[in-house]
Amino acid sequence: MKRAIVLLTLNEIEALPKIFDRLPRSCADDFFVVDGGSSDGTRQYLESRGVRVVGQPKRGRGQAFRVAFAQTDAEVLVFFSPDGNEDPADIPRLLAKIDEGCDMAIASRMMRGAFNEEDVHWFRPRKWVNQAFTLLANLLWNQGPYITDTINGFRAVRRSAFEALGCDADGFVIEYQMSIRAMKRGLKVAEIATRESPRMGGQSTAKSLPTGIVFLRQLAREFVEDSPS
């Protein structure tokens, strides 16, 4: 089964060089980057390391996922964001879950044994909001085992599953849409416990309030999505 590791970048020049050499590239057949339009030298850094960098017609992580699938004939794609939040050592663990037969494997920051960036504080607004969206999705659509982190982008996805989901979200809500639709279609989703670390530099582009509103709107849209045939 052909596999690809895909990095998703938007202005990650501060963190990327600290992570790049730790990527387990030998566990995949293809390796490339989808870049959302970096202007800080991210693209130049990657090209100087001999990496294929693909641009996007429009900014947004949802766009980036679709560009990634169109760029490779790999049957499994694992998406990695090189900003410091994610541990490269989890990549082979996600791929192993796919090998065991699941359609999508998510690195969970919420399950037993996992660690969320906010767990160092008692006040965890982002985690709680994420958990509320996750609870709603599970209550509304999940007939299988509870999915603890429907939102994390660090995941491996089979091409057949991605095609069955028909996801059209453009931005940060793409992962939530993928998780919801995987539940609706009864796909097999597995999770591994991960440790989320802080950003190593650069800027987040996921602003909490606007992102929350987009998530609510997506939830409403998923109610009216035609049932899959």
Residues that bind Mg ion in the complex, under the rule CB under 5 A: 83, 85
Beta-carbon-side half-sphere exposure of residue 114 (alpha carbons within 13 Å): 22
Contact footprint for ligand GTP (CB under 6 A): 8-10, 12, 34-36, 56, 59-61, 64, 81-83, 85, 199, 204-206
Interaction partner, residue 35 (Mg ion, ligand GTP, none; CB < 5-8 Å by kind): ligand GTP
Q: What is d(CA 19, CA 102) in angstroms, rounded to the nearest whole number?
A: 28
Burial class (CB in 10 A: 0-12, 13-18, 19+), 164: middle
85 vs 134 by CB, closer to Mg ion = 85
Question: Least CB distance from residue 34 to ligand GTP, whole Å?
Answer: 4
Report the residue closest to ligand GTP, judged by CB: 36
119 vs 222 by CB, closer to Mg ion = 119
59 vs 188 by CB, closer to ligand GTP = 59
Pairing of strands 30-35, 76-80: unpaired
Question: Least CB distance from residue 23 to Mg ion, whole Å?
Answer: 16
Question: Least CB distance from residue 147 to Mg ion, whole Å?
Answer: 20
Phi-psi region of 113 (alpha: psi -120 to 50; beta: other; left: phi over 0): left
Helix (H) or strand (E) holding 76: strand 76-80
Contact 193, 106 (CB under 8 A): no
Interaction partner, residue 167 (Mg ion, ligand GTP, none; CB < 5-8 Å by kind): none
CA angle at residue 218 from 136 to 37, to 5 degrees? 125
Interaction partner, residue 71 (Mg ion, ligand GTP, none; CB < 5-8 Å by kind): none
Interaction partner, residue 10 (ligand GTP, Mg ion, none; CB < 5-8 Å by kind): ligand GTP
Question: Least CB distance from residue 194 to Mg ion, whole Å?
Answer: 13
Question: Least CB distance from residue 14 to ligand GTP, whole Å?
Answer: 11
Dihedrals φ, ψ of 134, to 5°? -65, -40
Question: Least CB distance from residue 226 to ligand GTP, whole Å?
Answer: 27
Helix (H) or strand (E) holding 181: helix 174-184
16 vs 137 by CB, closer to ligand GTP = 16
Within 10 angstroms of residue 39's Cβ, the number of other Cβ atoms is 9
130 vs 148 by CB, closer to ligand GTP = 130
Contact 46, 114 (CB under 8 A): no
